[in-house]
Amino acid sequence: MELLPTIAAVRNYVAAARHRGLTIGLVPTMGYLHEGHLSLARAARQQNDVVIMSIFVNPTQFGPNEDFARYPRDLERDRELAAGAGVDAVFAPAVAEMYPAGYATYVHVEGLTEVLCGASRPGHFRGVTTVVSKLFNIVQPDRAYFGQKDYQQALVIKKMVRDLNFPVEIITIPTVREADGLALSSRNKYLTPEQRRSALSLHRALNLGSELIKAGEREAAAVRRAMEKEITAWPETRIDYIAISDAGTLKPLERIAGRVLLALAVWVGNTRLIDNVVLEVSD
SS3 165: coil
Is 37 a known active-site residue? yes
Please say which residue, 10 or 30, places its beta carbon nearer to ligand PAF: 30
Short-list 59, 66, 187, 199, CA closest to 121: 66
Has 46 been labeled as part of a binding site? Answer: no
Has 53 been labeled as part of a binding site? Answer: no
Please say which residue, 54 or 201, places its beta carbon nearer to ligand PAF: 54
Has 31 been labeled as part of a binding site? Answer: yes
Please say which residue, 132 or 199, places its beta carbon nearer to ligand PAF: 132
Q: Catalytic pick from 19, 37, 124, 203?
A: 37
Rounded least distance, CB 27 to ligand PAF, Å: 9
Rounded least distance, CB 191 to ligand PAF, Å: 18
Rounded least distance, CB 138 to ligand PAF, Å: 13
Backbone angles phi, psi at 138, to 5 degrees: -75, -45
Has 261 been labeled as part of a binding site? Answer: no
185: exposed, middle or buried (Cβ count in 10 Å: 0-12, 13-18, 19+): buried
Has 248 been labeled as part of a binding site? Answer: no
Q: Could you give the CA distance from residue 190 to residue 268 in angstroms, rounded to a whole number?
A: 10
Footprint on this chain of ligand PAF (rule: CB under 6 A): 28-30, 58, 61, 128, 131-132, 150, 153
SS3 216: coil
Q: Could you give the CA distance from residue 48 to residue 142 in angstroms, rounded to a whole number?
A: 8
Has 150 been labeled as part of a binding site? Answer: yes
Backbone angles phi, psi at 192, to 5 degrees: -75, 165
Pairing of strands 169-173, 2-4: unpaired
CA contacts within 13 A on the Cβ side of 14 = 22
Please say which residue, 91 or 234, places its beta carbon nearer to ligand PAF: 91
Q: Could you give the CA distance from residue 46 to residue 114 in angstroms, rounded to a whole number?
A: 35
Rounded least distance, CB 153 to ligand PAF, Å: 6
Please say which residue, 17 or 131, places its beta carbon nearer to ligand PAF: 131
Asked whether the beta carbons of 267 and 237 are under 8 A apart, the reply is yes
Q: Could you give the CA distance from residue 179 to residue 36 in angstroms, rounded to a whole number?
A: 13
Q: Could you give the CA distance from residue 157 to residue 150 in angstroms, rounded to a whole number?
A: 11
Rounded least distance, CB 57 to ligand PAF, Å: 8
The binding site for (R)-pantoate comprises 61, 153
The binding site for beta-alanine comprises 61
The binding site comprises 30-37, 61, 147-150, 153, 176, 184-187
Name the residues annotated as catalytic. Answer: 37
